[in-house]
Structure 1
Protein backbone atom coordinates (compact mmCIF):
# COMPACT_ATOMS: atom_id res chain seq x y z
CA UNK A 1 0.00 0.00 0.00
CA UNK A 2 1.47 3.32 -1.13
CA UNK A 3 -1.08 5.73 0.38
CA UNK A 4 -4.54 6.21 1.88
CA UNK A 5 -6.65 8.89 0.21
CA UNK A 6 -9.09 10.05 2.89
CA UNK A 7 -11.09 12.31 0.55
CA UNK A 8 -12.62 10.82 -2.60
CA UNK A 9 -16.00 11.96 -3.95
CA UNK A 10 -18.25 9.12 -5.07
CA UNK A 11 -21.12 9.19 -7.53
CA UNK A 12 -20.06 11.91 -9.94
CA UNK A 13 -20.24 9.48 -12.85
CA UNK A 14 -23.80 8.64 -11.80
CA UNK A 15 -25.13 6.94 -8.66
CA UNK A 16 -24.31 3.40 -9.73
CA UNK A 17 -21.67 1.05 -8.40
CA UNK A 18 -20.51 0.43 -11.97
CA UNK A 19 -19.75 4.15 -12.33
CA UNK A 20 -16.95 3.76 -9.76
CA UNK A 21 -15.27 0.84 -11.57
CA UNK A 22 -12.78 2.98 -13.50
CA UNK A 23 -11.89 4.95 -10.38
CA UNK A 24 -11.38 1.74 -8.41
CA UNK A 25 -9.10 0.39 -11.13
CA UNK A 26 -7.00 3.56 -11.09
CA UNK A 27 -6.52 3.35 -7.33
CA UNK A 28 -5.76 -0.37 -7.52
CA UNK A 29 -3.14 0.22 -10.24
CA UNK A 30 -1.42 2.83 -8.07
CA UNK A 31 -1.62 0.71 -4.90
CA UNK A 32 -3.62 3.42 -3.12
CA UNK A 33 -6.64 2.93 -0.86
CA UNK A 34 -9.39 5.54 -0.64
CA UNK A 35 -12.38 6.52 1.49
CA UNK A 36 -15.36 7.54 -0.69
CA UNK A 37 -17.67 10.30 0.56
CA UNK A 38 -21.46 10.62 0.53
CA UNK A 39 -23.14 14.02 0.04
CA UNK A 40 -26.35 15.63 1.35
CA UNK A 41 -27.20 19.32 0.96
CA UNK A 42 -30.88 18.69 0.19
CA UNK A 43 -32.36 21.35 2.49
CA UNK A 44 -30.40 24.20 0.89
CA UNK A 45 -30.37 23.15 -2.77
CA UNK A 46 -33.14 20.60 -3.15
CA UNK A 47 -30.72 18.24 -4.87
CA UNK A 48 -31.08 14.55 -4.02
CA UNK A 49 -28.26 13.18 -1.87
CA UNK A 50 -25.45 10.88 -2.88
CA UNK A 51 -26.58 8.47 -0.20
CA UNK A 52 -24.78 6.65 2.55
CA UNK A 53 -26.26 3.43 1.22
CA UNK A 54 -24.66 4.12 -2.16
CA UNK A 55 -21.24 4.63 -0.57
CA UNK A 56 -21.73 1.41 1.37
CA UNK A 57 -22.53 -0.43 -1.88
CA UNK A 58 -19.39 0.98 -3.52
CA UNK A 59 -17.30 -0.27 -0.59
CA UNK A 60 -18.86 -3.72 -0.82
CA UNK A 61 -18.22 -3.83 -4.58
CA UNK A 62 -14.54 -2.80 -4.36
CA UNK A 63 -13.40 -3.70 -0.81
CA UNK A 64 -9.74 -4.10 -1.82
CA UNK A 65 -9.62 -0.42 -2.80
CA UNK A 66 -12.28 1.21 -0.61
CA UNK A 67 -11.96 -0.26 2.92
CA UNK A 68 -14.56 2.12 4.37
CA UNK A 69 -16.01 5.56 3.63
CA UNK A 70 -17.58 8.73 4.96
CA UNK A 71 -21.26 9.20 5.63
CA UNK A 72 -22.84 12.59 5.05
CA UNK A 73 -25.99 13.99 6.63
CA UNK A 74 -27.84 17.25 6.13
CA UNK A 75 -27.64 18.89 9.59
CA UNK A 76 -30.92 20.73 9.01
CA UNK A 77 -32.73 17.38 9.13
CA UNK A 78 -32.32 17.36 12.91
CA UNK A 79 -33.33 14.12 14.61
CA UNK A 80 -33.46 12.39 11.23
CA UNK A 81 -29.79 13.32 10.74
CA UNK A 82 -28.88 11.97 14.19
CA UNK A 83 -30.61 8.66 13.50
CA UNK A 84 -28.96 8.44 10.09
CA UNK A 85 -25.51 8.87 11.63
CA UNK A 86 -26.23 6.00 14.01
CA UNK A 87 -27.41 3.82 11.14
CA UNK A 88 -24.50 4.74 8.86
CA UNK A 89 -21.92 3.89 11.51
CA UNK A 90 -23.56 0.90 13.21
CA UNK A 91 -25.26 -0.78 10.24
CA UNK A 92 -23.37 0.40 7.16
CA UNK A 93 -19.94 0.39 8.79
CA UNK A 94 -18.94 3.87 7.60
CA UNK A 95 -16.05 5.42 9.47
CA UNK A 96 -17.33 8.93 10.17
CA UNK A 97 -19.37 11.86 8.91
CA UNK A 98 -18.53 14.60 6.38
CA UNK A 99 -19.98 18.14 6.48
CA UNK A 100 -19.70 21.03 4.02
CA UNK A 101 -20.95 24.06 5.91
CA UNK A 102 -20.95 26.41 2.89
CA UNK A 103 -22.99 24.01 0.77
CA UNK A 104 -25.21 23.05 3.70
CA UNK A 105 -25.41 26.64 4.98
CA UNK A 106 -24.88 26.21 8.72
CA UNK A 107 -22.55 27.32 11.49
CA UNK A 108 -21.02 24.35 13.28
CA UNK A 109 -21.20 26.09 16.67
CA UNK A 110 -24.96 26.72 16.40
CA UNK A 111 -26.43 24.92 19.42
CA UNK A 112 -29.20 23.48 17.27
CA UNK A 113 -26.60 21.15 15.76
CA UNK A 114 -24.99 20.05 19.02
CA UNK A 115 -27.01 16.79 19.16
CA UNK A 116 -25.18 15.81 15.95
CA UNK A 117 -21.75 16.40 17.47
CA UNK A 118 -22.89 14.64 20.62
CA UNK A 119 -23.89 11.45 18.80
CA UNK A 120 -20.65 11.47 16.80
CA UNK A 121 -18.65 11.84 20.01
CA UNK A 122 -20.65 9.05 21.68
CA UNK A 123 -20.12 6.72 18.72
CA UNK A 124 -16.43 7.56 18.54
CA UNK A 125 -16.74 8.42 14.86
CA UNK A 126 -14.59 11.19 13.34
CA UNK A 127 -16.10 14.28 11.73
CA UNK A 128 -14.71 15.79 8.53
CA UNK A 129 -15.43 19.50 7.99
CA UNK A 130 -14.77 21.48 4.83
CA UNK A 131 -12.67 24.56 5.69
CA UNK A 132 -11.73 27.64 3.70
CA UNK A 133 -12.79 28.58 0.20
CA UNK A 134 -14.59 26.10 -2.05
CA UNK A 135 -14.68 25.14 -5.69
CA UNK A 136 -18.46 24.93 -5.38
CA UNK A 137 -19.79 27.89 -7.38
CA UNK A 138 -16.33 29.22 -8.17
CA UNK A 139 -16.27 31.68 -11.08
CA UNK A 140 -20.07 31.91 -11.20
CA UNK A 141 -22.07 35.11 -10.60
CA UNK A 142 -22.52 35.34 -6.85
CA UNK A 143 -20.65 32.06 -6.49
CA UNK A 144 -23.96 30.31 -7.22
CA UNK A 145 -25.18 31.64 -3.88
CA UNK A 146 -22.50 29.85 -1.83
CA UNK A 147 -21.36 31.89 1.19
CA UNK A 148 -17.81 31.31 2.40
CA UNK A 149 -18.42 32.64 5.92
CA UNK A 150 -19.66 29.24 7.11
CA UNK A 151 -16.28 27.56 6.57
CA UNK A 152 -14.19 29.89 8.74
CA UNK A 153 -12.40 27.77 11.39
CA UNK A 154 -12.53 30.30 14.25
CA UNK A 155 -14.91 30.50 16.02
CA UNK A 156 -17.08 27.79 14.44
CA UNK A 157 -14.91 24.66 14.48
CA UNK A 158 -12.89 25.87 17.44
CA UNK A 159 -16.03 26.13 19.57
CA UNK A 160 -17.11 22.60 18.65
CA UNK A 161 -13.64 21.22 19.39
CA UNK A 162 -13.67 22.89 22.82
CA UNK A 163 -17.20 21.78 23.68
CA UNK A 164 -16.70 18.17 22.49
CA UNK A 165 -13.16 17.25 23.56
CA UNK A 166 -13.60 13.54 22.77
CA UNK A 167 -14.82 14.28 19.23
CA UNK A 168 -12.22 13.77 16.51
CA UNK A 169 -12.45 16.76 14.16
CA UNK A 170 -10.65 16.88 10.82
CA UNK A 171 -10.42 20.10 8.85
CA UNK A 172 -10.59 19.30 5.15
CA UNK A 173 -8.41 21.12 2.58
CA UNK A 174 -5.95 23.96 2.99
CA UNK A 175 -8.11 26.48 4.88
CA UNK A 176 -7.24 29.56 2.84
CA UNK A 177 -7.88 32.44 3.46
CA UNK A 178 -7.94 31.31 7.11
CA UNK A 179 -5.00 28.90 7.03
CA UNK A 180 -3.36 30.24 10.19
CA UNK A 181 -6.65 29.92 12.09
CA UNK A 182 -6.91 26.23 11.27
CA UNK A 183 -3.27 25.59 12.12
CA UNK A 184 -3.74 27.41 15.43
CA UNK A 185 -6.66 25.13 16.33
CA UNK A 186 -4.64 22.01 15.52
CA UNK A 187 -1.72 23.24 17.64
CA UNK A 188 -4.07 24.13 20.51
CA UNK A 189 -6.50 21.20 20.57
CA UNK A 190 -5.37 17.59 20.55
CA UNK A 191 -8.66 16.32 19.09
CA UNK A 192 -8.28 18.33 15.86
CA UNK A 193 -6.42 17.26 12.71
CA UNK A 194 -6.23 18.26 9.05
CA UNK A 195 -6.25 16.61 5.66
CA UNK A 196 -4.80 18.47 2.71
CA UNK A 197 -7.01 17.60 -0.25
CA UNK A 198 -8.41 19.81 -2.97
CA UNK A 199 -5.25 21.73 -3.87
CA UNK A 200 -2.12 20.71 -5.71
CA UNK A 201 0.61 20.55 -3.03
CA UNK A 202 2.72 23.02 -5.02
CA UNK A 203 0.15 25.73 -4.22
CA UNK A 204 -0.04 25.12 -0.46
CA UNK A 205 0.45 28.25 1.68
CA UNK A 206 3.98 28.45 3.06
CA UNK A 207 2.71 28.29 6.64
CA UNK A 208 1.01 24.97 5.88
CA UNK A 209 4.12 23.52 4.21
CA UNK A 210 6.24 24.52 7.21
CA UNK A 211 3.89 22.92 9.74
CA UNK A 212 3.43 19.72 7.71
CA UNK A 213 7.21 19.30 7.59
CA UNK A 214 7.57 20.27 11.25
CA UNK A 215 5.56 20.18 14.45
CA UNK A 216 2.25 19.06 12.90
CA UNK A 217 3.68 16.16 10.88
CA UNK A 218 1.72 13.67 13.02
CA UNK A 219 -1.59 15.52 12.58
CA UNK A 220 -1.89 15.72 8.78
CA UNK A 221 -3.43 13.24 6.31
CA UNK A 222 -3.41 12.89 2.54
CA UNK A 223 -6.60 13.44 0.61
CA UNK A 224 -7.00 14.22 -3.08
CA UNK A 225 -10.59 15.46 -3.52
CA UNK A 226 -10.82 13.21 -6.60
CA UNK A 227 -12.21 13.79 -9.21
CA UNK A 228 -11.73 17.55 -8.73
CA UNK A 229 -8.00 16.96 -8.42
CA UNK A 230 -6.93 13.45 -9.29
CA UNK A 231 -5.08 11.25 -6.86
CA UNK A 232 -2.32 10.71 -9.44
CA UNK A 233 -1.71 14.43 -9.94
CA UNK A 234 -1.78 15.15 -6.19
CA UNK A 235 0.78 12.46 -5.42
CA UNK A 236 3.05 13.49 -8.29
CA UNK A 237 3.04 17.12 -7.14
CA UNK A 238 3.53 16.19 -3.48
CA UNK A 239 6.60 14.12 -4.36
CA UNK A 240 8.28 17.21 -5.85
CA UNK A 241 7.87 19.40 -2.75
CA UNK A 242 10.86 18.05 -0.82
CA UNK A 243 9.22 16.90 2.40
CA UNK A 244 11.30 14.75 4.75
CA UNK A 245 11.01 11.01 3.95
CA UNK A 246 9.56 10.24 7.37
CA UNK A 247 6.99 13.03 6.91
CA UNK A 248 5.95 11.66 3.52
CA UNK A 249 5.18 8.26 5.06
CA UNK A 250 3.18 9.82 7.87
CA UNK A 251 1.12 12.07 5.60
CA UNK A 252 0.47 9.45 2.94
CA UNK A 253 -0.74 6.65 5.18
CA UNK A 254 0.64 6.27 8.71
CA UNK A 255 -1.30 9.17 10.21
CA UNK A 256 -4.56 8.00 8.64
CA UNK A 257 -4.02 4.50 10.02
CA UNK A 258 -3.55 5.92 13.52
CA UNK A 259 -6.03 8.80 13.57
CA UNK A 260 -8.86 6.93 11.86
CA UNK A 261 -7.96 3.55 13.42
CA UNK A 262 -7.79 1.93 10.00
CA UNK A 263 -6.68 -1.70 10.00
CA UNK A 264 -5.30 -1.75 6.46
CA UNK A 265 -1.96 -2.44 4.84
CA UNK A 266 0.86 -3.32 7.24
CA UNK A 267 -1.34 -2.47 10.23
CA UNK A 268 -3.83 -5.15 9.22
CA UNK A 269 -1.03 -7.70 8.76
CA UNK A 270 0.32 -6.90 12.22
CA UNK A 271 -3.10 -7.40 13.80
CA UNK A 272 -3.50 -10.75 12.07
CA UNK A 273 -0.24 -12.15 13.47
Structure 2
Protein backbone atom coordinates (compact mmCIF):
# COMPACT_ATOMS: atom_id res chain seq x y z
CA UNK A 1 0.00 0.00 0.00
CA UNK A 2 1.25 3.50 -0.74
CA UNK A 3 2.41 4.82 2.62
CA UNK A 4 0.79 8.23 2.23
CA UNK A 5 -2.70 6.90 1.49
CA UNK A 6 -5.05 5.65 4.19
CA UNK A 7 -7.12 3.64 1.69
CA UNK A 8 -7.00 2.61 -1.95
CA UNK A 9 -10.28 2.18 -3.84
CA UNK A 10 -10.35 0.67 -7.32
CA UNK A 11 -13.31 2.56 -8.77
CA UNK A 12 -13.58 0.60 -12.03
CA UNK A 13 -13.52 -3.21 -12.00
CA UNK A 14 -15.51 -5.82 -13.93
CA UNK A 15 -16.46 -9.17 -12.44
CA UNK A 16 -18.29 -12.17 -13.90
CA UNK A 17 -19.80 -15.42 -12.56
CA UNK A 18 -17.16 -18.14 -12.26
CA UNK A 19 -18.73 -20.33 -14.96
CA UNK A 20 -18.37 -17.69 -17.65
CA UNK A 21 -15.63 -15.46 -16.26
CA UNK A 22 -12.77 -16.69 -18.43
CA UNK A 23 -14.87 -16.64 -21.60
CA UNK A 24 -16.16 -13.11 -20.86
CA UNK A 25 -12.61 -11.96 -20.13
CA UNK A 26 -11.29 -13.48 -23.35
CA UNK A 27 -14.04 -11.75 -25.32
CA UNK A 28 -13.08 -8.37 -23.88
CA UNK A 29 -9.44 -9.00 -24.72
CA UNK A 30 -10.38 -9.86 -28.30
CA UNK A 31 -12.58 -6.77 -28.62
CA UNK A 32 -9.72 -4.46 -27.64
CA UNK A 33 -6.83 -6.61 -28.87
CA UNK A 34 -5.26 -6.25 -25.44
CA UNK A 35 -3.79 -8.82 -23.07
CA UNK A 36 -5.99 -9.64 -20.08
CA UNK A 37 -4.06 -10.19 -16.88
CA UNK A 38 -6.70 -12.00 -14.82
CA UNK A 39 -9.70 -14.31 -15.08
CA UNK A 40 -12.52 -11.90 -14.23
CA UNK A 41 -13.67 -13.54 -10.99
CA UNK A 42 -14.32 -11.59 -7.80
CA UNK A 43 -11.99 -13.91 -5.90
CA UNK A 44 -9.06 -13.06 -8.16
CA UNK A 45 -9.91 -9.35 -8.09
CA UNK A 46 -9.65 -9.32 -4.32
CA UNK A 47 -6.57 -11.57 -4.19
CA UNK A 48 -4.49 -9.47 -6.57
CA UNK A 49 -5.68 -6.25 -4.96
CA UNK A 50 -4.93 -7.44 -1.43
CA UNK A 51 -1.35 -8.10 -2.50
CA UNK A 52 -0.81 -4.38 -3.21
CA UNK A 53 -3.04 -2.81 -0.58
CA UNK A 54 -6.35 -2.15 -2.37
CA UNK A 55 -9.06 -1.62 0.23
CA UNK A 56 -12.28 -1.71 -1.81
CA UNK A 57 -13.51 -2.15 -5.37
CA UNK A 58 -16.39 -0.66 -7.34
CA UNK A 59 -17.63 -3.64 -9.36
CA UNK A 60 -19.93 -3.91 -12.33
CA UNK A 61 -20.80 -5.90 -15.42
CA UNK A 62 -22.58 -4.98 -18.66
CA UNK A 63 -25.84 -6.34 -20.08
CA UNK A 64 -25.18 -6.65 -23.81
CA UNK A 65 -28.82 -7.65 -24.39
CA UNK A 66 -31.91 -6.62 -22.40
CA UNK A 67 -32.73 -10.02 -20.88
CA UNK A 68 -29.36 -10.08 -19.08
CA UNK A 69 -30.09 -7.02 -16.96
CA UNK A 70 -31.85 -8.60 -13.99
CA UNK A 71 -29.51 -11.60 -13.91
CA UNK A 72 -26.42 -9.38 -13.89
CA UNK A 73 -27.80 -7.13 -11.18
CA UNK A 74 -28.62 -10.14 -9.02
CA UNK A 75 -25.06 -11.41 -9.52
CA UNK A 76 -23.54 -8.08 -8.50
CA UNK A 77 -25.74 -7.94 -5.40
CA UNK A 78 -24.77 -11.50 -4.40
CA UNK A 79 -21.10 -10.70 -4.92
CA UNK A 80 -21.38 -7.64 -2.66
CA UNK A 81 -23.17 -9.76 -0.05
CA UNK A 82 -20.32 -12.29 -0.21
CA UNK A 83 -17.66 -9.58 0.25
CA UNK A 84 -19.46 -6.71 2.02
CA UNK A 85 -16.25 -5.13 3.30
CA UNK A 86 -14.60 -5.20 -0.12
CA UNK A 87 -17.13 -4.68 -2.92
CA UNK A 88 -19.26 -1.69 -3.89
CA UNK A 89 -21.81 -2.57 -6.56
CA UNK A 90 -22.96 -0.75 -9.67
CA UNK A 91 -25.94 -2.12 -11.57
CA UNK A 92 -26.62 -2.57 -15.26
CA UNK A 93 -29.40 -1.29 -17.52
CA UNK A 94 -30.05 -1.58 -21.24
CA UNK A 95 -31.76 1.03 -23.46
CA UNK A 96 -34.02 -1.61 -25.05
CA UNK A 97 -35.17 -3.23 -21.83
CA UNK A 98 -38.73 -3.41 -20.59
CA UNK A 99 -39.62 -2.50 -17.02
CA UNK A 100 -36.85 0.06 -16.79
CA UNK A 101 -38.40 2.15 -14.00
CA UNK A 102 -39.13 -0.92 -11.90
CA UNK A 103 -35.55 -2.16 -12.26
CA UNK A 104 -34.15 1.23 -11.32
CA UNK A 105 -36.26 1.21 -8.15
CA UNK A 106 -35.06 -2.33 -7.43
CA UNK A 107 -31.41 -1.33 -7.88
CA UNK A 108 -31.83 1.44 -5.35
CA UNK A 109 -33.65 -0.82 -2.89
CA UNK A 110 -30.84 -3.40 -3.18
CA UNK A 111 -28.24 -0.81 -2.25
CA UNK A 112 -26.40 -0.52 -5.55
CA UNK A 113 -24.52 2.76 -5.89
CA UNK A 114 -24.69 3.54 -9.60
CA UNK A 115 -25.30 2.29 -13.15
CA UNK A 116 -22.73 1.07 -15.65
CA UNK A 117 -23.28 1.52 -19.40
CA UNK A 118 -20.97 0.48 -22.25
CA UNK A 119 -22.26 1.99 -25.50
CA UNK A 120 -19.78 0.09 -27.70
CA UNK A 121 -20.77 -3.29 -26.24
CA UNK A 122 -24.47 -2.45 -25.99
CA UNK A 123 -24.57 -0.86 -29.47
CA UNK A 124 -26.17 2.48 -28.76
CA UNK A 125 -24.87 6.03 -29.04
CA UNK A 126 -24.61 7.95 -25.78
CA UNK A 127 -27.04 10.55 -27.16
CA UNK A 128 -29.52 8.11 -28.75
CA UNK A 129 -33.16 8.84 -28.00
CA UNK A 130 -33.48 5.40 -26.40
CA UNK A 131 -30.49 6.12 -24.17
CA UNK A 132 -32.15 9.34 -23.08
CA UNK A 133 -34.98 7.20 -21.71
CA UNK A 134 -32.43 5.86 -19.22
CA UNK A 135 -31.20 9.29 -18.19
CA UNK A 136 -34.77 10.56 -17.86
CA UNK A 137 -35.79 7.61 -15.72
CA UNK A 138 -32.75 7.74 -13.42
CA UNK A 139 -32.45 11.52 -13.11
CA UNK A 140 -30.37 12.36 -10.07
CA UNK A 141 -31.14 9.13 -8.20
CA UNK A 142 -27.90 7.35 -9.16
CA UNK A 143 -24.73 8.29 -11.06
CA UNK A 144 -23.80 6.72 -14.39
CA UNK A 145 -20.42 5.20 -15.13
CA UNK A 146 -20.18 5.23 -18.92
CA UNK A 147 -17.41 3.79 -21.06
CA UNK A 148 -16.32 6.79 -23.11
CA UNK A 149 -14.09 6.90 -26.17
CA UNK A 150 -13.09 4.47 -28.92
CA UNK A 151 -11.68 5.85 -32.14
CA UNK A 152 -13.05 2.82 -34.03
CA UNK A 153 -16.68 3.71 -33.30
CA UNK A 154 -18.91 6.71 -32.68
CA UNK A 155 -21.16 5.18 -30.00
CA UNK A 156 -19.11 6.50 -27.08
CA UNK A 157 -17.56 9.57 -28.67
CA UNK A 158 -16.55 12.12 -25.99
CA UNK A 159 -18.47 14.82 -27.88
CA UNK A 160 -21.67 12.80 -27.36
CA UNK A 161 -20.86 12.46 -23.66
CA UNK A 162 -20.47 16.24 -23.49
CA UNK A 163 -23.82 16.73 -25.24
CA UNK A 164 -25.63 14.53 -22.74
CA UNK A 165 -23.89 16.08 -19.75
CA UNK A 166 -25.18 19.46 -20.86
CA UNK A 167 -28.66 18.11 -21.56
CA UNK A 168 -28.89 16.49 -18.10
CA UNK A 169 -27.09 18.93 -15.79
CA UNK A 170 -28.49 17.36 -12.61
CA UNK A 171 -27.32 13.85 -13.49
CA UNK A 172 -23.79 12.85 -12.45
CA UNK A 173 -21.67 11.06 -15.04
CA UNK A 174 -18.34 9.28 -14.68
CA UNK A 175 -16.74 9.32 -18.12
CA UNK A 176 -14.45 6.30 -17.91
CA UNK A 177 -10.83 6.20 -19.09
CA UNK A 178 -10.09 9.89 -18.53
CA UNK A 179 -13.20 10.59 -20.61
CA UNK A 180 -12.05 9.04 -23.86
CA UNK A 181 -10.24 5.72 -24.32
CA UNK A 182 -7.94 6.09 -27.37
CA UNK A 183 -9.37 9.63 -27.83
CA UNK A 184 -7.82 11.45 -24.88
CA UNK A 185 -7.18 14.69 -26.73
CA UNK A 186 -10.82 14.87 -27.79
CA UNK A 187 -11.95 14.06 -24.23
CA UNK A 188 -9.77 16.85 -22.89
CA UNK A 189 -11.24 19.28 -25.40
CA UNK A 190 -14.89 18.26 -24.95
CA UNK A 191 -15.28 17.34 -21.28
CA UNK A 192 -12.97 19.46 -19.16
CA UNK A 193 -14.95 22.07 -17.23
CA UNK A 194 -18.35 20.34 -17.25
CA UNK A 195 -19.78 20.47 -13.74
CA UNK A 196 -21.44 17.04 -13.79
CA UNK A 197 -18.53 15.09 -15.30
CA UNK A 198 -16.03 13.05 -13.30
CA UNK A 199 -13.44 10.68 -14.82
CA UNK A 200 -11.49 7.60 -13.81
CA UNK A 201 -7.95 6.53 -14.69
CA UNK A 202 -8.78 3.03 -15.90
CA UNK A 203 -7.22 1.71 -19.13
CA UNK A 204 -5.29 4.94 -19.59
CA UNK A 205 -1.93 4.81 -17.81
CA UNK A 206 -0.55 2.24 -20.27
CA UNK A 207 -0.88 4.80 -23.06
CA UNK A 208 0.56 7.95 -21.47
CA UNK A 209 3.47 9.32 -19.49
CA UNK A 210 3.22 10.26 -15.81
CA UNK A 211 3.56 13.88 -16.91
CA UNK A 212 0.54 13.59 -19.22
CA UNK A 213 -1.49 11.92 -16.48
CA UNK A 214 -0.64 14.80 -14.14
CA UNK A 215 -1.76 17.29 -16.78
CA UNK A 216 -5.11 15.51 -17.22
CA UNK A 217 -5.70 15.29 -13.48
CA UNK A 218 -5.06 19.01 -13.11
CA UNK A 219 -7.29 19.89 -16.07
CA UNK A 220 -10.25 17.72 -15.06
CA UNK A 221 -9.78 18.78 -11.45
CA UNK A 222 -7.99 17.08 -8.58
CA UNK A 223 -11.38 16.45 -6.92
CA UNK A 224 -12.90 14.84 -10.03
CA UNK A 225 -10.58 11.91 -10.81
CA UNK A 226 -10.93 8.35 -9.47
CA UNK A 227 -8.31 5.60 -9.53
CA UNK A 228 -9.44 2.53 -11.48
CA UNK A 229 -7.81 -0.52 -13.05
CA UNK A 230 -10.42 -1.91 -15.46
CA UNK A 231 -9.82 -5.36 -13.94
CA UNK A 232 -9.44 -8.01 -15.36
CA UNK A 233 -7.46 -6.09 -17.97
CA UNK A 234 -4.73 -4.36 -15.95
CA UNK A 235 -2.67 -5.13 -12.87
CA UNK A 236 -3.37 -2.99 -9.80
CA UNK A 237 0.26 -3.15 -8.69
CA UNK A 238 1.46 -1.75 -12.03
CA UNK A 239 -1.15 1.02 -12.08
CA UNK A 240 -0.35 1.99 -8.50
CA UNK A 241 3.36 2.10 -9.28
CA UNK A 242 2.60 4.37 -12.25
CA UNK A 243 0.39 6.64 -10.15
CA UNK A 244 3.15 6.94 -7.58
CA UNK A 245 5.40 8.36 -10.34
CA UNK A 246 2.92 11.04 -11.40
CA UNK A 247 4.46 14.43 -10.56
CA UNK A 248 1.71 15.62 -8.21
CA UNK A 249 1.63 16.01 -4.44
CA UNK A 250 0.74 13.14 -2.13
CA UNK A 251 -2.40 15.01 -1.07
CA UNK A 252 -3.64 15.00 -4.67
CA UNK A 253 -2.79 11.33 -5.13
CA UNK A 254 -4.67 10.43 -1.97
CA UNK A 255 -7.72 12.20 -3.36
CA UNK A 256 -7.46 10.16 -6.56
CA UNK A 257 -6.85 6.92 -4.67
CA UNK A 258 -9.88 7.10 -2.40
CA UNK A 259 -11.07 10.45 -1.11
CA UNK A 260 -12.81 11.53 -4.31
CA UNK A 261 -14.81 8.33 -4.84
CA UNK A 262 -15.55 8.19 -1.10
CA UNK A 263 -17.12 11.64 -1.27
CA UNK A 264 -18.81 11.00 -4.62
CA UNK A 265 -20.58 7.84 -3.43
CA UNK A 266 -20.96 8.86 0.22
CA UNK A 267 -19.12 5.77 1.48
CA UNK A 268 -18.41 7.30 4.88
CA UNK A 269 -14.70 6.47 5.04
CA UNK A 270 -12.57 8.92 6.96
Shorter-chain TM range is 0.7 to 0.9
Alignment of 1:18-57 (within 5 A): 19-29=41-51, 30-42=53-65, 51-57=72-78
Where relative contact order (Cα < 8 A, 6+ residues apart) is larger, the structure is 2
Q: 1:183 — aligned with what?
A: 188
Q: 2:201 — aligned with what?
A: 196
TM-score (norm 1): 0.79
Aligned-partner SS, 1:27 = helix
The 10-residue stretch of structure 1 (22-31 or 212-221) with the greater mean CA deviation from structure 2:
22-31
Q: Distance in 2 between matches of 1:34 and 1:105?
A: 27
User: Aligned-pair distance for 1:89?
Assistant: 1.9
Structure 1's consecutive aligned runs of 4 or more residues displaced over 6 angstroms after TM superposition are 46-50
Q: 2:14 — aligned with what?
A: 9
Q: 1:97 — aligned with what?
A: 115
Q: Distance in 2 between matches of 1:220 and 1:102?
A: 23
Structure 2, unaligned stretches of length 5 or more?
A: 1-5, 22-40
Aligned-partner SS, 1:254 = helix
Q: 1:83 — aligned with what?
A: 102
Q: Contact 2:210 / 2:246 at 8 angstroms: preserved in 1?
A: no
Q: Distance in 1 between matches of 2:99 and 2:168?
A: 21
Corresponding position: 1:211 with 2:229: no
Structure 1, unaligned stretches of length 5 or more?
A: 135-146, 267-273
Q: Deviations over 1:10-69 (max 9, x none)?
A: 1164369xx5234324434524210111220026xx989860111111111111111x21
Q: Distance in 2 between matches of 1:236 and 1:37?
A: 24
Aligned residue pair count: 244
Q: 1:254 — aligned with what?
A: 259
Q: Contact 2:171 / 2:196 at 8 angstroms: preserved in 1?
A: yes
Q: CA RMSD in A?
A: 2.6
Q: Contact 1:42 / 1:49 at 8 angstroms: preserved in 2?
A: no
User: Aligned-pair distance for 1:130?
Assistant: 0.5
The 10-residue stretch of structure 1 (107-116 or 200-209) with the greater mean CA deviation from structure 2:
200-209
TM-score (norm 2): 0.80
Distance 1:89 1:49, change over 3 A: closer
Select which of 216, 220, 228 maps to 1:223.
Answer: 228
Q: Distance in 2 between matches of 1:162 and 1:204?
A: 30
Corresponding position: 1:160 with 2:179: no
Q: Distance in 2 between matches of 1:202 and 1:159?
A: 26
Q: Deviations over 1:233-268 (max 9, x none)?
A: 21122212332212101111111112222223x2xx
